[in-house]
Structure 1
């Protein structure tokens, strides 16, 4: 469990399969995602049951509201390499009533803090669809800076989706308010 201000990041469990399935079948939630084909609930359950434990190269956490313990999304650091100290970040909130209320920002800050402090990463990168302004706002707030653009083909459209890779370095956090350390006194 990794506590944040509004959320706690916890390992995903097989019992989370129904929420994940529901989110992945909601067109509004999946609007900016390259989700391939929706899977039946039984297949999602099986995948969650067979998912390997979190390891350095792939850390998947559920985003849980601290106030009531409700699972509202997920965040993942993947493709982490100790030789380079780099990882890719994925995040989404599946419970729409929590959009725009600071939960994604807190989850991002908490997972980045975990990556930099516990995993000893030097750089966390992510890719975002250019038109997804809400995501851009969250990433800027957390301290991510835009590196450049790319064009990537998407199964959802014939022409492709334009996206911009973003990256964050520990040095960039000096210009943003630093979140509390994981081991700070008074943290749960």
Structure 2
């Protein structure tokens, strides 16, 4: 099953996606604004994708595909995840990143966020999608605001980069606010 946006399609991640995921997770530029965790081997990333439970209401992980511009049709360029969803609250958290840097700044992230949120509101019957973002991550903030997210709070000094502690915004999007 694919979930189509204007520029991207979302699909379930597969073990064959391990190499791209491993490569992105070891690229300092890609991981600049994210909690990178600890380095993993390619075999461990492949095993994680193979062993990962299927997508469920409380945790949906999509690969973000974009047109490849050649005969292959589509290329995996990133991932987006809705997780922590609870039917009682109708809320879920959103995570996204694009690992293929040639797709940065061209509207693919905006379309992926919009498409994932639309899926959450329409298919999962969510009422709200939330996220956190480092306050200095201007590109991500622009994407989230373009889609309709609103800043709801500030988490002080919870992210460390370059020897400095940085703040994060908490942001939220209600189902009627999606643009």
TM-score category, normalised to shorter length: over 0.9
How does the TM-score come out when normalised to structure 1?
0.88
Residue 154 of structure 1 deviates from its aligned partner by 3.9
Instruction: Determine if the alignment matches structure 1 residue 57 to structure 2 residue 58.
Output: yes
Alignment of 1:10-29 (within 5 A): 10-29=11-30
Instruction: Determine if the alignment matches structure 1 residue 80 to structure 2 residue 85.
Output: yes
Instruction: Determine if the alignment matches structure 1 residue 39 to structure 2 residue 44.
Output: no
User: 1 CA distance for matches of 2:22 and 2:99?
Assistant: 10
Q: Secondary structure at the match of 2:102?
A: helix
Residue 156 of structure 1 deviates from its aligned partner by 5.2
User: 1 CA distance for matches of 2:175 and 2:59?
Assistant: 20
Contact 1:153 / 1:159 at 8 angstroms: preserved in 2?
A: no
Unaligned runs of 5+ in 1: 177-188
How does the TM-score come out when normalised to structure 2?
0.93
Question: CA 1:71–1:151 in structure 2 vs 1: closer, same or farther (change >3 Å)?
Answer: same
Match of 1:30 in 2: 31
Question: CA 1:117–1:136 in structure 2 vs 1: closer, same or farther (change >3 Å)?
Answer: same
Match of 1:122 in 2: 127
Match of 1:100 in 2: 105
Match of 2:114 in 1: 109
Residue 36 of structure 1 deviates from its aligned partner by 1.4
More strand by share: 2
**1:3-37 deviations in whole A, cap 9, x for unaligned?**
11111000000000000000000000000001111
Q: How many residues align?
A: 174
Unaligned runs of 5+ in 2: none
User: 2 CA distance for matches of 1:78 and 1:157?
Assistant: 29
Match of 1:180 in 2: none
Q: Secondary structure at the match of 1:148?
A: strand
Q: Secondary structure at the match of 2:55?
A: coil
